Amino acid sequence: MRFFCVATLVLLALVASVEGWRVESRARDGLMTFEAFIKQFNKDYSPSEYVKRKQIFEANVVDILKHNSEGHSYYKGINEMSDWTHDEFMHLNAARGLMKQKVTQNLHDSFTVKQFERTNRSLPHRVDYRRHHPPILTSIKNQGNCGSCWAHSAVEAIESHWALATGNLHVLSQQQITSCTPNPNHCGGTGGCSGSVEQLAFAYIHDAGGIAEEWSYPYTSYYGDSGVCKSVSPFEMIAKVKGYVEVAKDDQEALMEAVAYEGPISVSVDATYWQSYAGGIFNGCNYSLNITQNHAVQLVGYGFERKTNQHYWLIRNSWGPRWGEHGYMRLLRTRKPECGWDVNTHMGSACDGDPDTEWVCGTCGILTGASYPIPDVGSFAH
């Protein structure tokens, strides 16, 4: 009887696995019907909304099929955002890069801002922190319909660097950062779900005395409400930060050295064309159309794909595990980085009073505005 039960469970697991693969394959190939999409992603519409979303979905499927027939280095697929217009998707990208003219104002003297010192160490051919042991990456998160990717990027970086420093990996609170981080100079937005920058999150955690775990301050901003900042007991603080390190602007070797030897990095990118990304090495940012850094993610490595003879950056996103390559993305890394002007910085990284233009480099601007936190392990006491 025990063997029968085990065999049955194995068979059921195999069937579920095959069915899951079929659903994923249909989504990847753009062959999923709207009804299957509704079921797969638990969508619920009013009658009028159903008609609207069906039209948007079908238009996005046409784009997916067209793109995938053209032989690109990356492919598109159906995901949770396939019933969104491009404007709705852009509302999600309310996270920004670093223009430090105003970011570093009013910081406490005890808060440290350092520059990464490149030493030209030999670089490993591949870095992938998903394979690090013990683990230093928590599971993929979903920011929902809230422009809080700056908070997710900052928290992910703190989780990783705290784990590297202490050996303890904690799931930390994105909601605390989203709801509580002040943004008086409107750096990258007006704060919360309307955008900010990772460096302000690091400074807030320092000033607040630490950050709580996710279970004690859970994420609630899925539908665009930044939430009200709640007081957090000192006993709930699980990690502290004493500053952050900036990686030299537009220096590809410096960023590679930093991620290889220091750990995962918070980076800012132009995610304008990422909505339907499903896999492969993304090269869809176009400097001739302007690069606006409107999204924050975590850089967790780099590598090389022999099949396509392409180098790439390994990106961890915050749009859920069913986006991209199980929540991750490979972004083209050219030997000589492409550069150009961001002529619309106030839709991205700028603070009030910052210039309207900025020189940015790397695929999707990845080389401009990278930083990582300095964990304050020595002063931590529970």
Higher pLDDT, 104 or 59: 59
Per-residue confidence (pLDDT) for residue 12, from 0 to 100: 37
Spell out the CATH class of 16-83.
Answer: mainly alpha
Looking at the predicted structure, is the pLDDT value of residue 164 above 60? yes
What residues form DSSP beta bridges with 303?
312
Task: Give me the active site residues, please.
Answer: 149, 295, 317
Mean pLDDT of 205-213: 97
Q: Are strands 277-282 and 328-332 parallel, antiparallel or unpaired?
A: parallel
Of 11-15, 69-73, 83-87, 182-186, give the lowest mean pLDDT range.
Answer: 11-15
As a whole-number percent, the residues of the chain with pLDDT over 70 amount to 87
Query: What integer is the mean pLDDT of 122-128?
Result: 98
Inter-CA distances, 352 with 41, 246, 266, Å: 39, 21, 22
Mean pLDDT of 140-152: 96
Pairing of strands 74-76, 112-115: unpaired
How far apart CA 335 and CA 309 sit, in angstroms, is: 12
Which tens digit of pLDDT belongs to each residue from 178-195?
A: 999 999 999 989 999 999
Helix (H, G, I), strand (E, B) or coil at 121: coil
Domain boundaries, the chain: 16-83, 112-375
Contact (CB, 8 A) for 82 and 76? no
Give the H/E segment covering residue 162.
helix 149-166
Cβ proximity of 64 and 79 under 8 Å: no
pLDDT at 60: 97
| Predicted local distance difference test score (pLDDT) of residue 345 | 80
Q: For residue range 213-265, what is the model confidence (pLDDT) as tens digits?
A: 999 999 999 999 999 999 999 889 999 999 999 999 999 999 999 999 999 99
pLDDT at 104: 56
In tens, the pLDDT along 18-70 reads 344 445 555 656 679 999 999 999 999 999 999 999 999 999 999 999 999 99
pTM as predicted? 0.89
Contacts of 10 (CB under 8 A, 6+ apart): none
**Residue 172 Cα distances to 51, 255, 323, 381, angstroms:** 39, 25, 22, 17
Separation between Cα atoms, residue 281 and residue 333, nearest integer Å: 9
- Tokens 């390994």 sit on residue: 314
Longest C-alpha distance within the chain, in Å? 73
Nearest to 181 by CA among 212, 152, 208: 208
Same CATH fold assignment for domains 16-83 and 112-375: no
Task: Report how far residue 161's alpha carbon sits from residue 167's, in angstroms, rounded to the nearest whole number.
Answer: 9
Place domain 112-375 in its CATH homologous superfamily.
Cysteine proteinases (3.90.70.10)
Q: Which amino acid is at 68?
A: N
What pLDDT is attached to residue 6?
35
